[in-house]
Amino acid sequence: MSNPSLLILAGDGIGPEVMDEVKRIIKWFGDKRGLNFDVSEDLVGGCAYDKHGTPLHDDTMAKAQEVDAVLLGAVGGPKYDNLDFSVKPERGLLRLRKEMDLFSNLRPAQCFDALADFSSLKKEVVAGLDIVIVRELTSGIYFGEPRGIIKEGNERVGINTQRYTESEIARVARSAFELARRRNNKVCSMEKANVMESGILWREVTQEIHDAEYPDVELTHMYADAGAMQLCRWPKQFDVIVTDNLFGDMLSDMAAMLTGSLGMLPSASLGQPMDSGRPKAMYEPVHGSAPDIAGTGKANPIACILSFAMALRYSFDQGDEATRIEDAIEKVLADGLRTADLLGEEGVTPVSTTEMGDAVLAALDASL
């Protein structure tokens, strides 16, 4: 039986640095747990444009379609700001999501006990926080037509179209309900049904799927702006939040900061099941390429490492090993080790990207 396959696309900025730590974790699982992967690497984003004149070469896209999972670092940087929109680094990421049909984006917001004081909210508000935002990823306003900038009379007009079909809403709703069944059996669906027709349809279809297929899961509805307020007021009222592409983008970044740093947050983008029964999948940290600190050793690799943990859980049925990584990270943070994004409290030990990787590996060794 062949090993599961992983395609690593480290990308730009701090992407290669944080991905180097993930590659060490992957090797550890092969050496110490007998869990081996066939790993290949390629380019995406600005580095792909530099070599190929496109942010995602067709050959790389074909590889992504063939492997069991993709691990992505980050894309973009000011070097590419003046490129035509069609070849900006982010277009490579959007192409991967669209052509792999990765419609369900899982963004956990978990506050490790050691970082509860680091959040901008009060400790009692975020301590023990463990929620997941399920964001629809391949439709909505980022993909709807018509779009563009046109001339009307003497001025320019920017156009983006919010568009959802019933089937697009239904499949991401099912993803959220299935996830909730593995957690605390609660889903809150967020939209703007009070002012948007797409929001009305979203609410209706989500309710229909619930009533017909998931009556055992508690379902509530909330306007997305009220949801943003409630995330800041008392986030632990939620378990799974399901929402559209635009609101999910904003709400998940807000939820990420409840935990203290974007450098802590992983994500999973899942599609339809393949012949193996596994969904097509891509895993990536929520943070960007942070070109201002690239090459300085200041980047936090934890989000990228936790993204690999999500791959173990959702693509490779290795939930216990995913928990092993999460527990190792919790131990390292409890010991007071902090990368630059997490400094600010007294009594902690500053560490570099590589030193944080060393500490996680040591904690994994101690778990055996």
Q: Domains of the chain, with CATH numbers? A: 1-105+262-368 (3.40.718.10), 130-258 (3.40.718.10)
Tell me which of 50, 101, 130, 225 is the catalytic residue.
225
Return the pLDDT at 104. Answer: 95
pLDDT at 266: 93
Task: Specify whether the CB–CB gap between 68 and 13 falls below 8 A.
Answer: no
- Note whether 220 and 203 are within 8 A (CB): no
- Position 276 scores a pLDDT of 57
Active site residue 298: no
Choosing from 42, 49, 68, 142, which is the catalytic residue? Answer: 142
Angle at 253 between CA 199 and CA 129, to 5 degrees: 100
Cis peptide before 146 (omega within 30 of 0): yes
Query: Got the DSSP string for 256-316?
Result: HHHTT-GGG-EEEEEEEE-TTSPEEEEEEESS---TTTTTTT----HHHHHHHHHHHHHTS
The pTM for the full model equals: 0.89
Spatial CA neighbour of 3 closest among 42, 35, 31: 35
Is position 249 annotated as part of the catalytic site? yes
Unique residue bearing structure tokens 């070097």: 79
The Cα–Cα gap between 170 and 160 comes to 23
On the 0-12 / 13-18 / 19+ scale of CB atoms within 10 A, 278 is middle
Whether residue 56 contacts residue 92, with contact meaning beta carbons closer than 8 Å, is answered with yes
d(CA 248, CA 109): 13
Please name the residue that has the structure tokens 């696309």.
9
In the residue annotation, 98 being an active-site residue is answered as no
pLDDT of residue 275: 59
What single string gives the DSSP state of each residue in 142-176? Answer: GTEEEEEEEEETTEEEEEEE----HHHHHHHHHHH
Please confirm, yes or no, whether 223 is among the known catalytic residues: no
* Closest by Cα among 113, 144, 136 to 126: 113
**Hey, what are 53's tokens?**
């004149």
Name the catalytic one among 20, 50, 130, 253. 253
Distance CA 227, CA 220 (A): 11
How many angstroms from the chain centroid is the CA of residue 181?
20
Task: For residue 198, give the nearest of 246, 157, 259, 270 by alpha carbon.
Answer: 246
CA distance linking residue 271 with residue 91, whole number of Å: 19
Per-residue confidence in pLDDT tens, the chain, 368 aa = 789 999 999 999 999 999 999 999 999 999 999 999 999 999 999 999 999 999 999 999 999 999 999 999 999 999 999 999 999 999 999 899 989 999 999 999 988 888 888 788 888 899 889 999 999 999 999 999 999 999 999 999 999 999 999 999 999 999 999 999 989 999 999 999 999 999 999 999 999 999 999 999 999 999 999 999 999 999 999 999 999 999 999 998 888 778 877 778 899 999 976 655 678 899 999 899 999 999 999 999 999 999 999 999 999 999 999 999 999 999 999 999 999 988 877 889 999 999 999 999 999 999 99
Task: Please state, in angstroms and rounded to a whole number, the distance separating the CA atoms of residues 20 and 305.
Answer: 10
Q: Which of 192, 280, 298, 331 is catalytic?
A: 192
Catalytically annotated residue among 12, 42, 68, 249: 249
Question: What number of residues does the chain have?
Answer: 368
Nearest C-alpha neighbor of 167 from the set 156, 159, 175: 175
**3-class secondary-structure state, position 66:** helix
Longest dimension (CA), the chain: 70
Reduced to 3 states, what is the DSSP secondary structure of residue 190?
A: strand
| Residues 6+ positions from 141 with CB-CB distance below 8 Å | 160, 161, 162, 163, 244, 245, 246
Q: How far is CA 159 from the centre of its chain?
A: 27
